[in-house]
Chain A
Amino acid sequence: MRWTLDLRTVVVVLLLVALVLLPVYVELTGSRFLLTLFTRIVILALAAVSLNLILGYGGMMSFGHAAYLGIGGYAVGMLAFEGITSGFVQWPVALLASALFALVIGALSLRTRGVYFIMITLAFAQMAYYIVAGLARYGGDDGLTIQKRSQFFPPLNLSNKIQFYYICLALLFASIYLVWRLVNSRFGMAVQGARSNDTRMRAIGFPTYRYKLICFVIAGTLCGLAGALLANHTDFVSPAMMYWTRSGDLIVMVVLGGMGSIFGPLFGAVALLVLEEVLSGITEYWQIILGPLLLLVVLFARGGIDGLLGKVGQKVNHG
């Protein structure tokens, strides 16, 4: 077998190594800020990975994915508020609540397609937002401070920033692996088949509605996990974490990184959040740059970063 230098693989390996070694760098330089930023990036990358499963592979253009961030986060926040701080209760509840919400929303939304699907998932997520904002007991609009992070058995301590970073990173890698396995399984093939041609898949006997619904629930559950992590990361939950612009951010990450590629969402999350940091360092009005930049990506770089790497890699190999 001829070994060729695949640019994409090189970048992926470098990125993963950098993520694993980041805490070492932070220890050496004492830059706590970098650790906080990258914990956030890793958590949102996990959310983006889950969105990519339905958006990239399933062709389901959900515009309400941030709802699960909020639901997962609020499950942790509310339980902590009621005095239940055990992670063994909080996290399963967070996952279960997200799965249940995804099941109901998915069952209704998947009856429709195209633009209807986009708008309906958006509307349901907003509904969840308003419900949470109306919960006066849990802070309503102002949100809820979490006094104590999720408790697990002794060596595991989520309040230790470096440990927490590694937990998030491990969960991110695990979910990337899970998505990879799923996508390459019979189930994943059926879902991707339904994306390309739903009618034909049904004609050859696949109940595509059920396949898509299960896929939708898996993605929602994974994103609920990201929500539980995010709540532990910020020690705070508020309705803002499920506002629809957050769903937009997640879509941007997936598309920017490269839809329907395994590492795309990770590229996208890192690129978008680092870009935000850089731009907001340049000007207070950084979104005035980011907005048109998005437009340009849509117009001229459809495959996102992953596609770009593939193209450049090919050029290097052939030319």
Chain B
Amino acid sequence: MTLFIEQCLNGLQFGLLLFLLAAGLTLVFGIMDLVNLAHGSLYMLGAYFAATFAAWTGSFVLGAILALAATLLVGMAVEVIAMRRLYGRDHLDHVLATFGLILFFDELVRLIWGAGGMSLPLPSWLNTSVRILPGVDYSAYKLSIIVVSLAVAVFLYILVMRTRLGMLIRAGASNREMIGALGVNIKLLFTLVFGLGAALAGLAGLMQAPILTVQIGMGENILILAFVITVIGGIGSIRGAFVAAIMVGFIDTLGRAYFTDLLRLAFTKETAATAAPALSSMLIYLLMAIVLVIRPEGLFPAGSK
């Protein structure tokens, strides 16, 4: 039971992390109609920046804040230099151009930081466990990821639904030409939104950095998960991304933890042990297939708000 609660929390933590990534992706798509494969590169950059800045300043928190600012700036620079020219173009153009950006960023990271990968050590005050329930201890760091991600989700909700900037963002999503004609500086708005998405990806990357090693290509695997989430949730819908991210986080984590046991009920021990890893990684794609059969536009289609 203790283990089960822990796994559920792991699922929640992973789901929230995926939400940060998927939110940026879906925000950029919903507003600029832009498919950004390089989103995973920004996630990777967030992790590398955090590892570097934390080593420079000697402080984890300071490093994280600097890394966040750095990914925000990189994101805005990418928007101004490259993305801006892609709005209104074919989606295939977006895919190709951002695929080029992935190659560029991967190689740039190899050039600057080397191919070896880095690690971001946790400060001692986070590297402990907390008693959350009688008899149940949980990593303080993972708990803080949950808290931060939830705070960001609330912040995003307030930003998009309750502020003037959010109002412009929503207006931009429904009719770009119109808000441009009303005198809103669309160029600046788009740069800000892209930067915001980049910062979210960077935040996800830097929070994941102490758990996994920081390495080239780390953004690519998780990017696919973020894609699955945006598809399940409905592309362009932040609410959909949230629901789908939590679902995928849970299914992925619990699937990995318990699928072998589940299969053992039906098959021999060996069959279960060999089939489980392959099948459990299929689960989320299966979920996606089912959602698509029932609702081809995702759970929360952005058009029908």
A contact set with B: CB distance below 8 Å: 55, 61, 63, 108, 111-112, 114-116, 118-120, 122-124, 126-127, 130-131, 134-137, 244-245, 248, 251-252, 255, 285-288, 290-295, 297-299, 302
- Cβ-defined contact, B231 with A298, below 8 A: no
- Cβ-defined contact, A252 with B292, below 8 A: no
Of the listed stretches B88-96, B157-165, B166-174, B197-205, chain A binds B88-96
Given A119-B228, A299-B86, 7 additional A-B pairs, CB 8 A: A61-B91, A61-B92, A116-B235, A245-B99, A288-B103, A294-B103, A298-B96
Q: Which of B275-305 contact A (CB under 8 A)?
A: 277-278, 281-282, 285, 288-289, 292-293, 296-298
Query: Which of B89, B102, B224, B277 interacts with A123 by CB under 8 Å?
Result: B224
- Cβ-defined contact, A123 with B288, below 8 A: yes
- Cβ-defined contact, B227 with A108, below 8 A: no
Query: Which of B230, B274, B289 interacts with A119 by CB under 8 Å?
Result: B230
5 pairs of A and B residues whose beta carbons are closest in the complex: A294-B100, A291-B104, A134-B278, A291-B103, A130-B281
Say yes or no: A287-B106 contact (C-beta < 8 A), given A118-B35, A124-B285.
yes
Cα–Cα distance between A125 and B107 once the two chains are bound (Å)? 24
**What are the residues of chain A within 8 A of B104 when measuring CB–CB?**
287-288, 291-292
Say yes or no: A285-B110 contact (C-beta < 8 A), given A111-B296, A255-B92.
yes
**What are the residues of chain B within 8 A of A248 when measuring CB–CB?**
95, 99, 102
Chain A's nearest CB lies how many Å from the CB of B181? Answer: 26
**What are the residues of chain B within 8 A of A287 when measuring CB–CB?**
103-104, 106-107
- Cβ-defined contact, B231 with A130, below 8 A: no
- Cβ-defined contact, A291 with B227, below 8 A: no
Say yes or no: A112-B108 contact (C-beta < 8 A), given A63-B95, A123-B227, A290-B103.
no
**What are the residues of chain A within 8 A of B111 when measuring CB–CB?**
285, 288
Cα–Cα distance between A293 and B96 once the two chains are bound (Å)? 11
Cα–Cα distance between A122 and B102 once the two chains are bound (Å)? 16
Cα–Cα distance between A92 and B80 once the two chains are bound (Å)? 50
**What are the residues of chain B within 8 A of A292 when measuring CB–CB?**
100, 104
B contact set with A: CB distance below 8 Å: 29, 35, 82, 85-86, 89, 91-93, 95-97, 99-108, 110-111, 220, 224, 227-228, 230-231, 235, 274, 277-278, 281-282, 285, 288-289, 292-293, 296-298
Query: Which of A116, A245, A251, A290 interacts with B231 by CB under 8 Å?
Result: A116
- Cβ-defined contact, B107 with A291, below 8 A: yes
Cα–Cα distance between A288 and B245 once the two chains are bound (Å)? 33
- Cβ-defined contact, B108 with A288, below 8 A: yes
Say yes or no: A288-B281 contact (C-beta < 8 A), given A119-B227, A120-B231, A298-B93.
no
Chain B's nearest CB lies how many Å from the CB of A250? Answer: 11
**What are the residues of chain A within 8 A of B231 when measuring CB–CB?**
116, 119-120, 123
- Cβ-defined contact, B227 with A122, below 8 A: yes
B95, B235, B274, B296, most chain A CB atoms within 10 A: B95
Query: Which of B35, B224, B293 interacts with A115 by CB under 8 Å?
Result: B35
**What are the residues of chain B within 8 A of A252 when measuring CB–CB?**
96, 99
Which residue of the partner chain B has the closest CB to A112?
B296
**What are the residues of chain B within 8 A of A302 when measuring CB–CB?**
93
- Cβ-defined contact, A294 with B96, below 8 A: yes
- Cβ-defined contact, B91 with A293, below 8 A: no
Query: Which of B105, B230, B292 interacts with A111 by CB under 8 Å?
Result: B292
Query: Which of B101, B110, B278, B297 interacts with A295 by CB under 8 Å?
Result: B101
**What are the residues of chain A within 8 A of B228 when measuring CB–CB?**
119, 123
**What are the residues of chain A within 8 A of B107 when measuring CB–CB?**
285-288, 291
**What are the residues of chain B within 8 A of A126 when measuring CB–CB?**
224, 285
Cα–Cα distance between A208 and B101 once the two chains are bound (Å)? 35
Which residue of the partner chain A has the closest CB to B235?
A115
Chain B's nearest CB lies how many Å from the CB of A314? Answer: 24
Which residue of the partner chain B has the closest CB to A290?
B103
Cα–Cα distance between A134 and B280 once the two chains are bound (Å)? 10
**What are the residues of chain B within 8 A of A131 when measuring CB–CB?**
278, 281-282
Chain A's nearest CB lies how many Å from the CB of B192? Answer: 22
Chain B's nearest CB lies how many Å from the CB of A30? Answer: 34
Say yes or no: A251-B96 contact (C-beta < 8 A), given A114-B91, A123-B228, A126-B224.
yes
